[in-house]
Structure 1
Amino acid sequence: MKNSVSLGILLTTVAYMAFTFHDAIIKILTSSIPVWQILFFRSLTIFLGCLAYGRGKLVRQTITSPIVKPMILLLCAWLSYYSAASRLQLAEVTTLYYAAPVVGTLLAWVILKEEVTPARWLAVGVGFVGVLIACNPVGLTISWPVYLALQAAVLWASAMVLLRKTSLHEKTIVQLTVSNVFFLALTGLAVLYTWQTPDMTQLALLIATGIVAGCAQFALFEGMRQAPVSVLAPFEYSSLVWAFLLGYLIWADIPTHNVVVGAALILSAGLIIIVSERLRRRAGA
């Protein structure tokens, strides 16, 4: 397996692990702080960090960046997801959202003309079956929140494909800045009506949310520069394993048998990709 592909897989796995920690912090904060305010602090922390690093040069690069369109899709995906998550059970929204790797692989094949090998299709399918088994959604009916969750999956997958087209020609720090400028503009308006002054502990958690999310986004965008979408897509499922692990460690949620079986299938999906890409490299050599 090529070094760039290996690095892309590693960065993507780290990104989704960090996103899971980020979601856990948000879950803790939402009991006392409005979600709009949490997202505002998150994006503000990331933006200030980027600005401190890139300064005036980063501002000029951001203004002329060609990645505005995929970032708009990314923003809409996040907003759709959080709107759906507030109305659906975790198992339901997770299962619906994890249609994204399937959609992403299909779009990568159609739009990017990526060679999607049988092993990559198999990995995506095995991972999605693992999610279905782990979440075990029952009684799910078509409703507005269900539509929002599916919309989030399609928008996220579309954004990832478009980012793959642009990320090869754009610095990761610029992608990070553009995405959070959009979020700041949107959440800033909502914060004006939902503001709640945080105490010192809450403020520390709000800043921590930004730091963790910034690391996650950087790893995700940089991973997109290193490997094809169809290779990285199955590794998005790994966040579910981390979610169940954190649920046990923080909230003492005991995984059921179906969770263990589903997690095993999700891990198998990642192994399928790693082994198949290594075999492809050896065959090419």
Structure 2
Amino acid sequence: MKWLVADYAVPQILFIRSVIIVAVAGFMVRRLRHPSILKSAHRGSLVLRAMLMLGAWMAYYSAARHLGLAEITTMYFSAPIIVIFLSILVLKENVGPMRWFACFAGFAGVIVAANPTQSPSLGPTLMVLFAGFCWAWSTVLVRLVSRFESTLNQMMATSFLFAIACGIMLPWVWKSPDLEGWALMLGLGAVSALGQFLLYEGYRHAPASTLAPMEYSGLVWAFLFGYLIWSEIPTVNVVAGAVLIVCSSLLLVWWERRAVLASRRMAA
């Protein structure tokens, strides 16, 4: 996506991405004979979630024009701690002290990486943090709606609304892609469809407050791809923040695994 925003408008990229996801999810819904999303009692939640995600994507990829991949990804991971708060208020999940510790440690890493006292790019930084807030709300709604709707229906509904919203803007932003541009956009759509399916299924089967810090693992890939593709070398504060974030995530994984094993021993 960072490749694409250098040459194409964000609404155009999101439109093509959304059309591909709608096509894939719609085909699978029809094949598996899932109930129509139009008959859902949770259409309002699906529309709200689509609006939140659209705001998150627009802000995130607009900021990507000005920030490195490692920087933007690190600051975007302010979302998990917001998910923790919302999972208590909205989903009524029981959040133990270790989840709180992991998320606060991760958020401290975000602050270190963003370095707000010296950052020359305050505007893009605020856009990324706004994207994280929108993403957190949409994540909680995924968990809430997943109790009643299939993953494929959620994918299709959200991306369909994305396509409509972005399609309205196309007459003013459309730029005919070359062969490489089409290949990148089609690849983005396919990878996004797979990623959405796996993400939604994860939130269907596990508490949002447990899964949210796991997203910090994406930071490693952001560092790797940023270096390999754009030769981006993260600053010291970004690396330090990333270390805090990854360590907090690994700590939570270890703690949750330990709790599962303990409960199994008690049941045996």
TM-score with structure 2 setting the length: 0.84
Cα distance in 1, alignment partners of residues 224 and 117 from structure 2 = 22
Whether 2:18 is the aligned partner of 1:39: answer no
Whether 2:154 is the aligned partner of 1:179: answer no
Comparing 42-51 and 173-182, the one that deviates more: 42-51
Give deviations 1:87-108, integer Å, cap 9, x for gaps.
6676775565332111110111
The higher-RCO structure (CA 8 Å, 6+ apart) is 1
* Structure 1 residue aligned with 2:134: 155
CA gap 1:170/1:200 in 2 versus in 1, 3 angstroms: same
CA gap 1:235/1:88 in 2 versus in 1, 3 angstroms: same
Give the superposition deviation at 1:267. Answer: 2.2
Letter in 2 for 1:130: G
Unmatched segments (≥5 aa) in structure 1: 1-25
Give deviations 1:195-215, integer Å, cap 9, x for gaps.
211122211111001011111
Contact 1:130 1:264 in 2 (8 A): yes
CA gap 1:79/1:162 in 2 versus in 1, 3 angstroms: same
Give deviations 1:215-265, integer Å, cap 9, x for gaps.
111111111101111111112222222111111111122344444433332
* Structure 2 residue aligned with 1:264: 243
* Structure 2 residue aligned with 1:17: none
Work out the number of aligned pairs and report it. Answer: 260
Cα distance in 2, alignment partners of residues 143 and 264 from structure 1 = 23
Q: 1:250 aligns with which of 216, 229, 233?
A: 229
Cα distance in 1, alignment partners of residues 128 and 49 from structure 2 = 18
Give the superposition deviation at 1:152. Answer: 2.6
Give the superposition deviation at 1:115. Answer: 1.1
Secondary structure of 2:36 counterpart: helix
Q: 1:219 aligns with which of 198, 203, 208?
A: 198
Whether 2:178 is the aligned partner of 1:199: answer yes
Contact 2:71 2:113 in 1 (8 A): no
CA gap 1:257/1:146 in 2 versus in 1, 3 angstroms: closer
CA gap 1:189/1:91 in 2 versus in 1, 3 angstroms: same
Contact 2:99 2:252 in 1 (8 A): yes
* Structure 2 residue aligned with 1:276: 255
Q: 2:94 aligns with which of 88, 101, 115?
A: 115
Whether 2:42 is the aligned partner of 1:73: answer no
Cα distance in 1, alignment partners of residues 68 and 232 from structure 2 = 15
Letter in 1 for 2:79: A
Output the aligned Cα RMSD.
2.7
TM-score with structure 1 setting the length: 0.80
Cα distance in 1, alignment partners of residues 199 and 142 from structure 2 = 10
Letter in 2 for 1:55: R
* Structure 2 residue aligned with 1:27: 2
Give deviations 1:122-176, integer Å, cap 9, x for gaps.
1112222223334444435997766544433222212211221111221111111
